[in-house]
Structure 1
């Protein structure tokens, strides 16, 4: 069936409500938008999907949510009855249609006689991960588009360990989803049937309390927090998202008394009206926090994204202004504090290990090495960190201390198996308290780290290729790099090329070695001057991502190297 025929099928369907019919009519006025909404089904991969809200098979709407959930239900139908009865935990964020999508998912599962445990109101992604484990559910669904703009929403599926669904199960689920030809024909229970079924259970405070009890264990030096928590001036903004309730409670129970919420951004708002993008990676998202920080003479500013799995921070500089830290810098500060605090307390295990993605900074690697702690690199995606945690619990080969990705994702304690900005909020406040006791702040702490280990700097460049030709352009760039392997970047010889799709590395002499990570469409290069470069297509958006990591003897040298490599890399996408 052509996309034009699919469009007509939707236009003539009696399943659409008046609002969606009106949206569909407006869509018909713009041939390019109409084609984009119908030329292909919204991609469902790595156990999730994300897209623009609106009618169409390539959009987020109740029908594409039903399709994803119908695929999940059919996957669960292959399990034994006891496993199916464990059900599905469902949470959602503050975005448009999030509550409706959560309930549509529950109604679709109920049609298959599968129980759902739906949060009473919006909750963070990490609490959904926790809830799957706490309730011993078979799987979980999180309705969120993370830090995307307001016109987006998304759908993520979690496995029974609380991590995003492992590859084998994710592949099986994806197959079931793609086998569904017409999402308009999927059957769900009516609201009346749901009320009498007993299959949709509303959850809330009991899970909140259980989660917050575990968050108490994130604090390493309670005596330090007890002493300094009343003096540390902290500004926190949840950027109109889910972080407020649990973040506020977590800080209070840890012992931090002087924090203030940014009032304009403490209100859940699907339009994210005070920011261009609700992304703590973007310095512009700190505009309101900086204003309040200057008024309050705050030591630290912290922002969490709408589903509270990512955390960003800004520190006060000597001149009184604030500087937004990179995800790698936050990771380095956390790694050093965690390892030092445990060393001082005599609680650093001999088999301690830190986990990070292959596109994250090598500064935490240098820090971990100094403490004789292992560093393990995994593919991009927190599910790979979760898989390693599970492995270590089973084989007892290592004790997990910390996991992070450069994209502002951190995990301190493995009672959650995804990025957890609530945990990170509490720990980073403790790190700030540690430096405040010494008459310093996080800026001073970072300078100490750079002086000891070298001036590391990193940058991520995202280039978007929109429309139907975007994916082809991205693939062409990757294929060209694979076929014509670069010998140098910015005048520095490439010593090692790692192709994670071929699962092999090749050095400058042509010697090949096997990579032990799963296959992934990523290319990484290590150069003579200790620079590393990585190129990969985004798994959730029409983007190609270029990563650069450099090391210099001074901040000026690191900055210049970064600029030189960026100029050369941008030519790749022209």
Structure 2
């Protein structure tokens, strides 16, 4: 495609695209002579990676639209038919959220599989993302597709792909599918049809599946406590997403009745009108929930992101709202899961997982319990597939989490699941309350046992990938590794997953997969500090994840603040002074580091 003339690219687009809106966009750019815009839209394809597609909805091969969804679906369908013929007849599960165009994209996706006589377990209404990986396992399907952009802005959409094991696709499968897409770009004869009855279309699959999912979540949540009790009254927000279509049903099955949904955010709305960013991690996202809770006299808030695969918690602590970080919720859930393991469980054959940018506390907790612990690269495409692998070796995986509010319970599904996380957390809250503990009290109890872990996760803005590469090249060319010094810190260990180096291993090879296409460094320092510094693959950011394990909150807080200051002075200001970050950087306990650099 890159060798084609711009005129040829326009002609190809107009030949293939039958969506009036996106056709007219390209025609308008052509008629206006907008060559720069046409180059941006048509020269390069939207990349198939991170378990699928995600991007802005607009006309052009570089964007999310009906044609690129058709092309991705044809490539995936052909891949399954030719590379997985033994399971192709088991079909694919296709679901979608409530975003703009999600329902249409799901229908177009289904057409590709039906064209190759691959059955489609089609979800006839919008659904939370976890229902698709759950459905893949339930129907024993060859693959799953979820049309969603999770908590991205309203103008975005995405296409997430699951393999036959119910986990997001990973290497090398994603590359093989990407190649198949390139070999099947021209729409097939039935590609643009509206949905119509077919022997290969099971269009009431969601109605069939939902009771099984609700029952599985109910049974698992109840299995984590010796006696089921209802949690304290709470406020729930699905942030204009699809969680509100399922979580109340789960609560009803558990006998939980005393909760209030945020009225303005209760029903799906693809414009997310009451929030700047529909992500419960973002500052201000839960403001309306807090107002509702204050009005209702409730001291607990739970939230999902718009596709309900993430889960967040806030609690009133000493008269102020405390928003628990993903690491906080992760170790709280882990503590509850550990306590629920019965005395007959072989703990040496029990494994929990988290990612390299999440808190190291889970590893400490597992060691104290006698369980196995594994660290993976970021994302559930790694954790879920590693979980599947260790299960083949006779291990049981009850729980995995990542700091970005994602929690996996393989008893239900092999992906992050905000609905199951809510049910299990509410079971835990009731148990802790019965012990005279608030959620915050329980967290402090865990800190007392395993050391106070303070974190600071944020990012520097990087306007282009070249600047990010320049920064990391500068770091590697410095004397930090050779001198084992990083400002006033001593470097205890240095791991570079871009170049495949780990100073702590006998052959200097890391135990995690290297990836030359991304930038990622992890340093272990004295004073109990570990931090990861990486370039984002989807946003113009260089992200940092700093953690300190100290005897006290003050020690841990000072250590993470000192580490951030050193990163800023020794790396960013030295090699890329034009990079900036927020003027206020909060730590997980609520301490705010005020900066005067901009």
Fold-level similarity (TM above 0.5): yes
Instruction: Quote the residue 2:268 is aligned against.
Output: 268
Q: Take 1:436 and 1:296, find their aligned partners in 2: how far apart are those partners?
A: 20
**Deviation of 1:255 (Å):** 2.9
Which runs of structure 2 are paired with 1:289-300 in the superposition (5 Å)?
Answer: 289-300=289-300
Question: 2:521 aligns to what?
Answer: 523
Closer/same/farther in 2, CA of residues 544 and 225 from structure 1, 3 Å limit: farther
Mapped contact 1:455–1:555 kept (Cα < 8 A):
yes
Deviation at 1:426, TM superposition (A): 0.5
Q: Using a 3 Å threshold, how does the CA distance of structure 1 residues 271 and 464 change in structure 2: closer, same or farther?
A: farther
Residue 362 to residue 27, structure 1, CA distance change in 2 (3 Å): farther
2:564 aligned with 1:566: yes
Between stretches 56-65 and 69-78, larger displacement belongs to: 69-78
1:432 to 412, 415, 429: 429
Unaligned runs of 5+ in 1: none
Write the deviation string for residues 304-342 of structure 1: whole angstroms up to 9, x where unpaired. 1111111111111022x2111110011111111221233
Quote the Cα distance in structure 1 between the aligned partners of 2:92 and 2:262: 34
Alignment of 1:236-247 (within 5 A): 236-247=236-247
Asked if the contact 1:220–1:341 (Cα under 8 Å) also holds between the matched residues in 2, the reply is no
Aligned twin of 1:23: 25
In the aligned structure 2, how far is the partner of 1:208 from the partner of 1:6? 47
Is the 1:225–1:433 contact (alpha carbons within 8 Å) kept by the matching residues of 2?
no
Q: Is the 8 A contact 2:247 2:419 kept in 1?
A: yes
CA drift at 1:247: 1.2
1:68 aligns with 2:72: yes
Residues 464-494 of structure 1: CA distance to partner in whole angstroms, max 9, x if unpaired? Answer: 545xxx2333333334434446343342111
CA distance, structure 1, for counterparts of residue 87 and residue 410 of structure 2: 27
Q: Distance in 2 between matches of 1:285 and 1:475?
A: 32
Moved more, 559-568 or 266-275: 559-568
Distance in structure 1 (CA, Å) of the matches to 2:14 and 2:189: 18
**Aligned-partner Cα distance in 2 for 1:78–1:112:** 10
Structure 2 counterpart of 1:476 = 470
Structure 2 equivalent of residue 206 of structure 1: 208
Gaps of 5+ in 2: 580-598
1:495-523 CA distances to partner (integer Å, 9 max, x unpaired)? 1111224443114xx96433232223432
My pick for the range that moved more, 536-545 or 356-365, is 536-545
Q: Show the counterpart of 1:38.
A: 42
Q: Which residue of 1 aligns with 2:418?
A: 421
RMSD: 2.5
Q: Which residue of 1 is the match for residue 584 of structure 2?
A: none
Check whether the contact 2:491–2:523 (CA below 8 A) recurs between aligned residues. yes
Shift of 1:394: 2.0
Relative to 1, partners in 2 of residues 1:423 and 1:27: Cα closer, same or farther, differing over 3 Å? farther
Written as runs of structure 1 = structure 2, the 5 A alignment for 1:313-328 is: 313-319=313-319, 321-328=320-327
Q: Which structure 2 residues correspond to residues 348-359 of structure 1 after superposition, within 5 A? A: 349-359=347-357
How far residue 239 of structure 1 moved from its aligned partner, in angstroms, is 0.8
Alpha carbons of structure 1 residues 225 and 37: separation in structure 2 relative to 1, 3 Å:
farther
1:400 to 2:436 alignment: no
- Aligned partners of 1:129 and 1:140 also within 8 Å: yes
Contact persistence 1:226–1:255 (CA under 8 A): no
Q: C-alpha distance in 2, partners of 1:286/1:147?
A: 14
Say yes or no: does 1:513 pair with 2:514. no
Does residue 158 in structure 1 map to residue 162 in structure 2? Answer: yes
Measured in 2, the distance between the counterparts of 1:66 and 1:89 equals 16
Q: Are 2:281 and 1:287 aligned?
A: no
Shift in alpha-carbon separation, 1:351–1:104, aligned structure 2, 3 A? same
The size of the alignment, in residue pairs, is 561
Q: Distance in 1 between matches of 2:107 and 2:397?
A: 36
> What does residue range 102-121 of structure 1 map to in structure 2 within 5 Å?
102-121=106-125
* Residues 485, 547 of structure 1: alpha-carbon distance in 2 compared, 3 angstrom cutoff: farther
Q: Secondary structure at the match of 1:191?
A: coil
CA contact (8 A) 2:451 2:551 kept: yes
* d(CA) in 2 for partners of 1:223, 1:534: 36
Which of 482, 492, 496 is residue 493 of structure 2 equivalent to?
Answer: 496
Most deviating of 37-46 and 155-164 = 37-46
TM-score after normalising by structure 1: 0.91
TM-score by length of 2: 0.87
Q: Who is 1:248 aligned against?
A: 248
When residues 80 and 162 of structure 1 are mapped into structure 2, their CA distance, relative to the original with a 3 A threshold, is closer
- Residue 408 of structure 2: aligned partner: 411
